[in-house]
A and B are shown apart, each in its own frame.
Chain A
Amino acid sequence: AQSVTQPDIHITVSEGASLELRCNYSYGATPYLFWYVQSPGQGLQLLLKYFSGDTLVQGIKGFEAEFKRSQSSFNLRKPSVHWSDAAEYFCAVGRSDTIGGSQGNLIFGKGTKLSVKP
């Protein structure tokens, strides 16, 4: 069965420091992979997605993620964190049993809460 694991429940980094949020997935074929950010009172916002092609994906707000098939990972990175990046981050994989790889049928990880120290 497909699954997504985010090993870190809560991460605290200093403002200006680099960030890496881990995501591992279990999937039988080439997955559709996503990173979302959820701020209090806000809807989930798509940061970036990987469908195919270049394994290093650039997203909004200065985030990037790298798809590594050999490690079944899709880690999210940012070189310099801002205080406004404090939020909950979710990794998700598109389900294989959906026609056309519908993004709507997503399996989410449990999320990583990011806190930023001044």
Chain B
Amino acid sequence: GAVVSQHPSRVICKSGTSVKIECRSLDFQATTMFWYRQFPKQSLMLMATSNEGSKATYEQGVEKDKFLINHASLTLSTLTVTSAHPEDSSFYICSAPRDAWTQETQYFGPGTRLLVL
């Protein structure tokens, strides 16, 4: 089956630094990728939709200047958490639909755990 990878799997950083998380579709092209955030014992919350060749679409309440998204190619989307603070500590998950039109089959990455000290 299709595979989506994320790198790094976990990262610890100091408050005020920026962290980049990569999401790659390994055996298919994804013109759209999605970024979710998951707090402990909470559900996944959609943060933004990453679109190859155009600007990302952010959900209400998500700061676009805080969470920079770049869909650099048909297989790579990056999420950069700028000037990270402890409240940004969370589990970040990306997903990509194999079929860009129907988007029925969605593949999720294993997630990146961010800890901001």
Q: Does A12 make an interface contact (CB < 8 A)?
A: no
Judged by DSSP, the binding face of A is: loop
Stretch at the interface among A14-22, A39-47, A63-71, A73-81: A39-47
Q: In the complex, what residues of B have CB within 8 A of residue A103's CB?
A: 97, 103-106
Whether, in the assembled complex, A72 has its beta carbon less than 8 Å from a beta carbon of chain B, the answer is: no
- How many residues on B have C-beta within 8 angstroms of the other chain's C-beta atoms? 25
Interface residues of A in 33-58 (CB under 8 A from B): 36, 41-46, 49, 51
What bracket does the count of chain A residues touching chain B fall in? 20 to 34
Q: How far is the CB of A63 from chain B (nearest CB, A)?
A: 17
B28 contacts the other chain (CB 8 A): no
A44 close to B95 (CB less than 8 A) = yes
Q: Does B54 contact A (CB under 8 A)?
A: no
Residues of chain B lying within 8 A (CB to CB) of residue A42? 110
Q: List 11 A-B contacts (CB under 8 A).
A: A36-B108, A43-B4, A43-B93, A49-B104, A103-B103, A104-B34, A104-B46, A105-B49, A107-B43, A110-B41, A110-B42
